[in-house]
Amino acid sequence: MRNVRTGGKTAVVAGGAGFLGSHLCDRLIADGARVICIDSMLTGRPENLRQFEREPRFTLIEADIIDPLPQRLTAGRDPIDEIFNLACAASPPHYQADPEHTMLTSVLGTHQLLGLAAGKGARFMLASTSEVYGDPDVHPQPETYRGNVNPIGPRACYDEGKRAAESLASDAVRARRVDARIARIFNTYGPRMQPDDGRVVSNVICQALSSRDITVYGSGEQTRSFCYVSDLIEGFIRLMACEKELPGPINLGNPQELTVNELVRLVLAHLGTDSVVTTRPLPVDDPRRRRPDITRAQTYLGWSPTVTLEAGLAATCAYFVERSAELRKRPAEAALNDAVEAGLL
């Protein structure tokens, strides 16, 4: 049975030091919750959590969810009301760096967190991905579409890991062990993205800021749908709070579709740079089109994105401009090392 408590709730955020996880922690703290962040720091960053250094309602546990969960979570008497599982490298360069670990994070980690949810009577949310649709034959992609995924390709550690995690969560619901819900996340962007994560938004902005050539893979006519981070976090909050009987996974993303070439033109126009576009071969299994059908989110959550692409890109560019300025103010050697590591030089 799920906990029913009045007053401030306690939420566990696995992967809370990452791009999305840290924004979720911000929102939960702002809403009055007590937050327990668990993160291995493999792709999460301590700087994303600096705002919580003096926050008594925030606790950080450095641990990897493929290992046995810390006893302070499993054996503690403190109640846990909600568990958000965002723990997994989410960009191709990061999740392909250690594919076995990526798969185990999705499968073993989800299994362990579902067990924690069952033991604590907590509601559970799995952060899944639009990658479960693979290179889709159906457009836009509804949750009923089963996907076109290569189970042995270089992206399979992430795609199949998330598909297996969805299966675990769905079985827990059918067995009435856990009140679980699944968010299928489409491309999301905003402040705190890692400059070296290989995603198109951060790539284009960082290359433009350093006056390098803009790298476009393939013809650039492949499409994406970009959702600003605050809109996505609102979707998470509504999905976790929803008391309706859900039909299954819920797509969360912005249905505005544009080509990679169009995105590049928008970023260059905003930054006022004259970088030259160069092309490289399209990565294996890279999807040609990506756009969510958000009918379920609108129907069950009353959710639709509200931040325009222009406003979101302006905020994201400002974040990277500010970060590059901060690096320039640091001692030369340290700033150079950080800029190279961040992909700004």
Residues noted as catalytic: 158
Which tokens go with 309? 């692409």
- List, in order, residues 6 or more apart from 302 with CB less than 8 Å away: 238
- List, in order, residues 6 or more apart from 117 with CB less than 8 Å away: 80, 83, 123, 124, 172, 178, 180
3-state secondary structure of 183: strand
Q: Is residue 247 within 8 Å of residue 307, measured between CB atoms?
A: no
Q: Is residue 264 within 8 Å of residue 277, measured between CB atoms?
A: yes
Please give the Cα distance from 231 to 235 (Å, whole number).
6
DSSP H or E run through 259 = strand 257-259
Q: Is residue 95 within 8 Å of residue 84, measured between CB atoms?
A: no
Closest CA to 300 of 228, 227, 231, 251: 251
Please give the Cα distance from 157 to 166 (Å, whole number).
14
Q: What is the DSSP letter of 16?
A: T
Please give the Cα distance from 280 to 10 (Å, whole number).
47
Q: Residue 276: exposed, middle, or buried by beta-carbon count in 10 A (0-12, 13-18, 19+)?
A: exposed
